[in-house]
Amino acid sequence: MSTNTQQQLNTSNASSAVQASLEIRAASGLLGLCWALGVPGNLVVLAVLQPRLAGGRFTLWLMLNLAVSDLLTLLTLPVWIHTLLHGWSLGAVPCKLLSCLEYWSLYTSMLCVTLLSVQRYLQVLHPQRWAELKSTGRRILLGLVWALGGVMSSHALVQREVRAGMDGLLHCLPRYRWAGEQVATLLMESLLLFVLPFSIMASLYCTSPCTEG
């Protein structure tokens, strides 16, 4: 290999390393901004909703659970920011548990948002059906939301492991045992976090005007 070629490779590697470092710092800064704005914002929501829960309005309870699930997601961000910058140093068990908690809160947040749309649809267009669901049934419904979120996030307990990343540092990353497992996981996450919830909400909003008319 000629000297010029070696110099070009060294320059290219250095440029790639600088670009990767800038991307990591930008991602860390964005996550830090989300934490700085999201944590106080959700704490304010909790403080505002707490005195109003005595009336038993299910919408307020859903908003409270949504704020709690969002807060759980945000509270893990400092750990992931530190990991981006310095690597993972907490061990295998915290890696699995924190990843599961992150997914659990994300799934629960999406389920709460979806249930809010369903609840508003029933309240407006089918109030008698909604009234048949008493307070006990509504509490059970909220419990099912958290339970279902926990079930959907359980794959992180199996797949997440501590291993070396491309930067040479240890990271809490998913390890797929075969290609089909990765495809199935990505499809499941896309379906449960985006496709299915947004399809339900879109169909409800599109049906409402037609039904009212």
Residues 24-54 pLDDT 10s: 888 889 999 999 999 999 999 999 998 888 7
- pLDDT of 12 above 50: no
- Top pLDDT among 127 and 31 is at 31
The torsion angles phi and psi of 162, rounded to 5 degrees, stand at -90, 120
d(CA 67, CA 13): 44
Cβ pair 32, 76 in contact under 8 A: no
d(CA 39, CA 73): 10
Residues 107, 114, 116: CA angle, nearest 5 degrees: 125
| Single pTM value for the model | 0.82
Among 59-63, 119-123, 129-133, the range scoring the smallest mean pLDDT is 129-133
Closest by CA position to 108, among listed 77, 66, 139 = 66
Q: pLDDT at position 72, please?
A: 93
Question: Looking at residue 154, which CATH number applies to its domain?
Answer: 1.20.1070.10
Q: Looking at the 3D structure of the chain, how many domains does it have? A: 1
Q: What percent of the chain has a predicted confidence (pLDDT) above 90?
A: 43
Is residue 171 within a helix (H) or strand (E), and if so which, with residue range? strand 170-174
Please give the average per-residue pLDDT across 118-127, as a whole number: 84
CA atoms of 151 and 153, how far apart (whole Å): 5
Of residues 114 and 20, the one with the higher pLDDT is 114
Structure tokens that stand for 1 in this block: 């290999």
